Amino acid sequence: MRDVAIIGIGMLKWGELWEKSLRDLCVEASLNCLKDAGTDRIDSITIGSMTSGLFNGQEHLASLIPDYLGRHNLPAIRVESACASGGLAVKTAFIEIASGMSDYVLAIGIEKMTDVGGGDATYALATAADQEYEGFHGITFPGLYAMMAKTHMERYGTTREQLAEVAVKNHKNGSKNPNAQFPFTVTNEQVRNSVKIADPLTLLDCSPITDGAAAVLLAPADEAKRINKHPLITISGIGHATDRIALSQRKDILKLEAVEMACQGALKMAGKTISEIDFAEVHDCFTIAEIMVMEEMGLVNRGEGGKAVLDGYTSLEGRFPVNPSGGLKSKGHPVGATGVAQIYEIVDQLRGTAGERQVKNARTGLAQNMGGSGGSCVTHIMEVK
Amino acid sequence: MRDVAIIGIGMLKWGELWEKSLRDLCVEASLNCLKDAGTDRIDSITIGSMTSGLFNGQEHLASLIPDYLGRHNLPAIRVESACASGGLAVKTAFIEIASGMSDYVLAIGIEKMTDVGGGDATYALATAADQEYEGFHGITFPGLYAMMAKTHMERYGTTREQLAEVAVKNHKNGSKNPNAQFPFTVTNEQVRNSVKIADPLTLLDCSPITDGAAAVLLAPADEAKRINKHPLITISGIGHATDRIALSQRKDILKLEAVEMACQGALKMAGKTISEIDFAEVHDCFTIAEIMVMEEMGLVNRGEGGKAVLDGYTSLEGRFPVNPSGGLKSKGHPVGATGVAQIYEIVDQLRGTAGERQVKNARTGLAQNMGGSGGSCVTHIMEVK
């Protein structure tokens, strides 16, 4: 397999973007990415989107997006694994280059979520759960994660304050991110006192509904050295795994097997241990998710994630910064775009161009992107050479 | 890149399968495939589905399907390019093996279309068109293909009888296929006199709404030689391209650029010309589509497709058999499954096990799978070694 580098990254300010359509968002992120890369060569396109069918009545993005990028005729593919769709778009691009099938592959993540009413968005998102055994009975994602949070609190003594501190930290980081949907800070008290969504989770424990896109351009590492003006950043490890889709079918609702396996797989491929990683972007769709993912990846002992957050272990200045971008919580969570935006952030940090939210001595970063209640997970490790 | 072989194929009888759910269909096709392969080793899974979100309220098949196959924890990905989703599932599996990332990859195609009302199915399918410039204004796929048919008749003198003969031929082939949804023969007169859908197309010019799945197991060719009891069948060429998604944006609505490019790409990779191919499965979603695809691939001169069908050139006993399986027309068209089922048919023919519908001296076959009104196309060439 050939070594693969990330030679360009593109984002835009996320939010409730009524004036921009799905295709506009993809084109804007992609053009920003090509400008950043300093090349407009694309051989192939991968697109991560969870459900543009339900959100926008538009499937076949593999035809639509190259068309509106002015690149019809290029091969293109849309990939999906719920909220892990973006990460899979990057993995698919990586394999296409590693195999020798293509050289320059543009990976785009997209979701335009605010054109449907609130109820419909919740339904669309719930299609990431087991429709017959979960969705049909009325469970939604806040409900699923609330059950995990309750169990975590009972088993490990995790407190409401610890959960809320994930949001406090991520909003603090996000307040330094010009692309974040909600770039404001919140206090621990504000999080706890915000409106209840599914006990114990309140509104500010939940990531928002967002319109957004992100894009990264991948190329063989040899080619990157030749043409790219940026420091050489390679994808040195990828892990990808799945789990039982329904929470009720797992032996333990606090065990995220796919997260553990994807992390171990990426570390093995990169030839590293978790202690050799400098920082991470992780899938904080709800505050409890960030805590569980930290534990599953071995950043902290099981049950100690909440305490570590409150102690500042994962703050921007902490020993292991988590979600310097602001995470899904503050940056926003356009589901199919999230995994690509995580990789955007890792590259921005590894280049040392993340401005006020720059992680010190960032040489190796990890992006962990999860689908559903952990039914799928894809993890990338990137290094600056 | 490593050589890749197809070591197992699985189908089931397609139709209006009220007693089988989406997950049941995937599991049945997959188990049939593993039984045929004589191994139950799977390293990774690719799933082609156009819009299980709109048809079944179920996304995240990449988690659901491994789970119900008893293979949770395996990496899995769902890919989509409208009706070309199945072909892309096979292409994605091919690349994963060619790159060295995985060895045994199961490619599944699935669509469960009859659980929604007729109107909703038409809406779901129309999301493969440009929602803003086509769907919003009320156009559906029968309407788009009817415009192509009208133009073809006016420009080349293609007749209503010639169009109908595509259905006659494919139903004749399908009557010999135990897995076909509509395994009965029809006469040219019956096709022409069936209820009008979009002038000049009648009901029997259109492929049906279908529940179905198909699966193929891919492995490195070296491995196939070692463990597989079947003749060695390799994928020697893959072509994949896109076109403007909206018919109105193309210079000529009779030009299917993606079809031509995908065919030429597959031939180039296989080191062959079209005259060295023995037979093909092509995307006859409507009778006019088969005629246009034949012309685009260079099987006949432009404008002569209709005449060639009427002359028997593409019949089972003809010089170049097209759609020996019965095609989408008679076998059925569960959109995401179609591309995988085409490849099932090619392999069955190359093995010489296609029974009553066996193509004589089948050594090299081509599968052409198209999305929307030709907005995307993926073409595979397979050879028996």
Q: Which tens digit of pLDDT belongs to each residue from B202-211?
A: 999 999 999 9
Torsion of CA A182, A185, A189, A192, to 10 degrees: 20
Query: Which pLDDT score, from 0 to 100, does residue A246 have?
Result: 98
Strand locations in A177-296 (E): 196-198, 201-202, 211-220, 233-242, 279-281
A264 SS3 class? helix
A1 SS3 class? coil
pLDDT in tens, A215-229: 999 999 999 999 999
pLDDT higher than 90, residue A204: yes
* Peptide linkage before B208 cis (omega within 30 of 0): no
Question: Is there a catalytic annotation at residue B333?
Answer: yes
**Entry pTM:** 0.98
Percent of chain B residues past pLDDT 90, beyond the cut: 98
pLDDT in tens, A160-191: 999 999 999 999 999 999 999 999 999 999 99
Cβ neighbourhood burial of B151 (10 Å; 0-12, 13-18, 19+): middle
pLDDT in tens, A254-275: 999 999 999 999 999 999 999 9
Query: Which pLDDT score, from 0 to 100, does residue B120 have?
Result: 86
Going by pLDDT thresholds of 50, 70 and 90, the confidence category of residue B227 is very high
pLDDT in tens, B230-272: 999 999 999 999 999 999 999 999 999 999 999 999 999 999 9
Q: Are B217 and B235 in contact (CB under 8 A)?
A: no
Give backbone dihedrals phi and psi of B322, rounded to 5 degrees, phi first. Answer: -120, 130
Q: What is the rounded distance in angstroms from the CA atom of residue A96 to the CA atom of residue A4?
A: 10
How much is the mean pLDDT over chain B?
A: 97
User: Residues B279, B282, B285, CA angle at the centre, nearest 5°?
Assistant: 150
Is B64's CB within 8 Å of A245's CB?
Answer: yes
Identify any residues that bridge with A121 across adjacent strands, giving them in sequence order. none
Query: Which pLDDT score, from 0 to 100, does residue B127 have?
Result: 95
Q: What is the rounded distance in angstroms from the CA atom of residue A58 to the CA atom of residue B129?
A: 8
Q: Are B281 and B342 in contact (CB under 8 A)?
A: yes
**Placement of tokens 């030689």 in the chain:** B225
Going along chain B from its start, the domains and CATH numbers come out as: 4-117+210-227 (3.40.47.10), 141-206+236-384 (3.40.47.10)
Q: Are B45 and A214 in contact (CB under 8 A)?
A: no
The catalytic residues of A are 83, 333
Q: Put residue B104 in one of left, alpha, beta given phi > 0 → left and psi -120 to 50 → alpha.
A: beta
Q: Are A297 and A261 in contact (CB under 8 A)?
A: no
Going by pLDDT thresholds of 50, 70 and 90, the confidence category of residue A324 is very high
- Chain A: closest CA distance from residue B334 (Å): 16
Q: How is residue A143 written in tokens?
A: 């409900």
Going by pLDDT thresholds of 50, 70 and 90, the confidence category of residue B115 is confident
For residue B240, give the chain A residue with the closest CA.
Answer: A75
User: Residues B89, A90, A337, CA angle at the centre, nearest 5°?
Assistant: 100
Distances (CA, A) of B226 to A40, B30, B106, B220: 44, 22, 18, 10
CB-CB neighbors (< 8 A) of B260 in chain A = none
Q: What is the pairing mode between strands A76-80 and B76-80?
A: antiparallel
Q: What is the rounded distance in angstroms from the CA atom of residue B89 to the CA atom of residue B65?
A: 14
Q: What is the largest CA-CA distance in chain A?
A: 56
Strand locations in B113-265 (E): 196-198, 201-202, 211-220, 233-242
pLDDT higher than 60, residue B118: no
Query: Which pLDDT score, from 0 to 100, does residue A117 have?
Result: 62
- Chain A: closest CA distance from residue B129 (Å): 7
Is B63's CB within 8 Å of A51's CB?
Answer: no
CB-CB neighbors (< 8 A) of A74 in chain B = 241-242
Q: Which of A1, A22, A26, A64 to mutate to test the interface with B (most CBs of B within 10 A)?
A: A64
Percent of chain A residues past pLDDT 90, beyond the cut: 98
Q: What is the rounded distance in angstroms from the CA atom of residue B198 to the CA atom of residue B205?
A: 10
pLDDT in tens, B21-77: 999 999 999 999 999 999 999 999 999 999 999 999 999 999 999 999 999 999 999
Q: Which of B77, B81, B111, B250 to mutate to test the interface with A (most CBs of A within 10 A)?
A: B77
Going by pLDDT thresholds of 50, 70 and 90, the confidence category of residue B116 is confident
pLDDT in tens, B127-166: 999 999 999 999 999 999 999 999 999 999 999 999 999 9
Of A75, A80, A131, the CB nearest to B80: A80
Of A130, A241, A261, the CB nearest to B64: A130
Query: Which pLDDT score, from 0 to 100, does residue A119 have?
Result: 63
Distances (CA, A) of B296 to A59, A294, B24, B114, B368: 25, 54, 37, 32, 11
- Chain B: closest CA distance from residue A132 (Å): 9
How far, rounded to the nearest angstrom, does the alpha carbon of residue A301 sit from its chain's CA centroid? 23
Query: Which pLDDT score, from 0 to 100, does residue A350 have?
Result: 98
Mean pLDDT computed over B3-32: 98
DSSP structural state of residue B129: S
Going by pLDDT thresholds of 50, 70 and 90, the confidence category of residue A118 is low
Question: At a CB cut-off of 8 Å and minimum separation 6, what does B132 contact?
Answer: A21, A23, A58
Is A1's CB within 8 Å of B99's CB?
Answer: yes
Is A77's CB within 8 Å of B82's CB?
Answer: no
* DSSP codes joined into one string, A3-60: -EEEEEEE----B--TT--HHHHHHHHHHHHHHHHT----SEEEEE-S-HHHHHS---
Going by pLDDT thresholds of 50, 70 and 90, the confidence category of residue A342 is very high
Q: How is residue B150 written in tokens?
A: 């009208």
Is B82's CB within 8 Å of A100's CB?
Answer: no
Q: Are B114 and B334 in contact (CB under 8 A)?
A: no
Question: At a CB cut-off of 8 Å and minimum separation 6, what does A307 contact?
Answer: A162
For residue A242, give the chain B residue with the closest CA.
Answer: B73
Q: Are B349 and B359 in contact (CB under 8 A)?
A: yes
pLDDT in tens, A54-112: 999 999 999 999 999 999 999 999 999 999 999 999 999 999 999 999 999 999 999 99
Is A375's CB within 8 Å of B100's CB?
Answer: no
Of A53, A66, A242, the CB nearest to B72: A242
The active-site residue out of B83, B263, B285, B377 is: B83
pLDDT in tens, A260-316: 999 999 999 999 999 999 999 999 999 999 999 999 999 999 999 999 999 999 999
Is A76's CB within 8 Å of B258's CB?
Answer: no
Query: Which pLDDT score, from 0 to 100, does residue A120 have?
Result: 86
Q: What is the rounded distance in angstroms from the CA atom of residue A274 to the CA atom of residue A264?
A: 9
Is A77's CB within 8 Å of B66's CB?
Answer: no
Of A59, A67, A244, the CB nearest to B82: A59
